[in-house]
């Protein structure tokens, strides 16, 4: 078995059933010490259940969970949460309203009997990590949502956990604050070097924050990789639809897990419908648009003809929906807005071939 260091986590074929329902299905992941990992997937896919099994709030039916080669859980072992050296931050910050920021943060170590100068130093250090040293004497009601979430983070850090578990910690914040907090989380991770496991259903949040993402669906791990890999090389049609923007077309070329370059992609698209059985993902940044040649509205070897079906202004660019003669649609970006209904010529530079969804 791999050596995991002090805070590496090994999740090996972990399964959780609630009655007839399998919430987490033989899920395996190896998380290296200090890694920032996101568990990402739609509502009900088992993310929170997996996090609760890591924390020790749920038992497991099958498989094993190990932290630094200590078994935390298996079908017949269950180490209690307080012995796991993990801390969990929830969506609702759960701060005590009658205690100051410093008292909230210090509570876990006070419970363990720490007092005096050592106590104050610990609290001060934890507050400094989330850049709230100046707020130690405030009451939670006098803080913004983002500041409250940082107090919750400081409270979990004060006990020096090996692993910090975060369950949709930004879900209650508005969009602007979420963006600010993404920076805080990244800084926080850099400064502490803690292993973080972060549950979210928001793919942009997962991509912005995590070193690695576990994409889950119906209790199963569908793909595990760096954000860039998931974006550039999604395994299945479902992952391609879930992560980032793009269009899926049918082509008579390529193999799952391989890239198709422009000319091969164009030839594959121009084949007759019955031969076009391979799904290919085309990201908007791999599409170039120009005015349609007046002579032709049909496909050529190099370009496709398409009709502009919708135009949305997104600030730095326009987002276009284009209708191809096959009836398929294509999402493209463009610096200016073509007329609705006009014909444009489309160059596709590359596509990524996908496995069908399981």
* d(C-alpha 295, C-alpha 318), whole Å: 26
CB of 218 to ligand ATP, least distance (A): 9
CB of 178 to ligand ATP, least distance (A): 16
Using rule CB under 6 A, residue 43 touches ligand ATP: yes
- Report DSSP state, residue 162: S
Stretch 200-229: interaction string toward ligand ATP, x if CB under 6 A: -x----------------------------
- Closest to ligand ATP by CB, 155 vs 201, is 201
Q: Using the rule CB under 6 A, which residue among 8, 46, 56, 140 binds ligand ATP?
A: 46
3-state secondary structure 299-332: CCCCCEEEEEEEEEECCCCEEEEEECCCCCEEEE
CB of 42 to ligand ATP, least distance (A): 7
Q: Using the rule CB under 6 A, which residue among 48, 147, 149, 223 binds ligand ATP?
A: 48
CB of 207 to ligand ATP, least distance (A): 17
Nearest to 172 by CA among 194, 202, 142: 202
Sign of torsion, CA 242 245 249 253? negative
* Interacting residues with ligand ATP between 153 and 192 (CB under 6 A): none
Using rule CB under 6 A, residue 276 touches ligand ATP: no
| Phi and psi at residue 52, to the nearest 5° | -70, -30
In DSSP terms, which residues pair with 352 in a beta bridge? 259, 281
Using rule CB under 6 A, residue 96 touches ligand ATP: no
Q: Using the rule CB under 6 A, which residue among 23, 40, 209, 239 binds ligand ATP?
A: 23
Using rule CB under 6 A, residue 40 touches ligand ATP: no
Using rule CB under 6 A, residue 44 touches ligand ATP: yes
Mark out the alpha helices in 100-202 (DSSP H runs).
101-111, 116-129, 145-157, 175-192
Nearest to 33 by CA among 12, 2, 55: 2
- Closest to ligand ATP by CB, 135 vs 238, is 238
Using rule CB under 6 A, residue 49 touches ligand ATP: yes
* d(C-alpha 72, C-alpha 78), whole Å: 6
CB of 77 to ligand ATP, least distance (A): 21
Using rule CB under 6 A, residue 95 touches ligand ATP: no
* d(C-alpha 168, C-alpha 150), whole Å: 14
* d(C-alpha 211, C-alpha 220), whole Å: 20
| Phi and psi at residue 301, to the nearest 5° | -65, -30
- Closest to ligand ATP by CB, 220 vs 250, is 220
User: Would you tell me which residues interact with ligand ATP (CB under 6 A)?
Assistant: 18, 21, 23, 41, 43-49, 201
């Amino acid at each position: 078995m791999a050596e995991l260091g002090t805070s590496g986590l090994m999740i090996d074929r972990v399964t959780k059933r609630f009655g007839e329902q399998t919430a987490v299905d033989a899920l395996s992941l190896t998380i290296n010490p200090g890694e920032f990992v996101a568990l990402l997937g739609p509502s009900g896919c088992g993310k929170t259940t997996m996090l609760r099994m890591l924390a020790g709030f749920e038992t497991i039916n099958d498989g094993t969970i190990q932290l630094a080669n200590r078994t935390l859980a298996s079908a017949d072992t269950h180490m209690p949460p307080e012995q796991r050296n993990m801390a969990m931050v929830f969506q609702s910050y759960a701060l005590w309203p009658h205690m100051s920021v410093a008292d909230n943060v210090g509570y876990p170590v006070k419970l363990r009997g720490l007092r005096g100068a050592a106590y104050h130093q610990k609290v001060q250090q934890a507050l400094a990590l989330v850049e709230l040293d100046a707020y130690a004497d405030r009451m939670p009601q006098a803080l913004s949502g983002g500041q409250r979430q940082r107090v919750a983070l400081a409270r979990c850090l004060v006990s020096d956990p090996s692993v910090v578990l975060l369950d949709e910690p930004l879900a209650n914040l508005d969009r602007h604050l979420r963006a600010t907090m993404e920076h805080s989380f990244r800084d926080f991770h850099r400064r502490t070097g803690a292993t973080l496991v972060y549950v979210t259903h928001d793919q942009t949040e997962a991509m912005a924050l995590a070193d690695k993402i576990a994409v889950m669906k119906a209790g199963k791990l569908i793909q595990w990789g760096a954000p860039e890999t998931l974006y550039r090389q999604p395994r299945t049609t479902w992952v391609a639809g879930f992560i980032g923007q793009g269009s899926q077309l049918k082509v008579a070329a390529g193999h799952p897990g391989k890239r198709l370059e422009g000319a091969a992609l164009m030839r594959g698209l121009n084949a007759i419908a019955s031969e076009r059985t391979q799904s290919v993902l085309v990201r908007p940044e791999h599409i170039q648009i120009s005015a349609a040649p007046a002579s032709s509205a049909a496909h050529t070897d190099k370009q496709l003809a398409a009709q502009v079906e919708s135009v949305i202004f997104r600030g730095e660019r326009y987002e276009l929906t284009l209708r191809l003669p096959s009836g398929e649609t294509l999402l493209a970006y463009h610096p200016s807005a073509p007329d609705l209904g006009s014909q444009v010529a489309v160059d596709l530079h590359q596509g990524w071939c996908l496995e069908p969804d399981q």
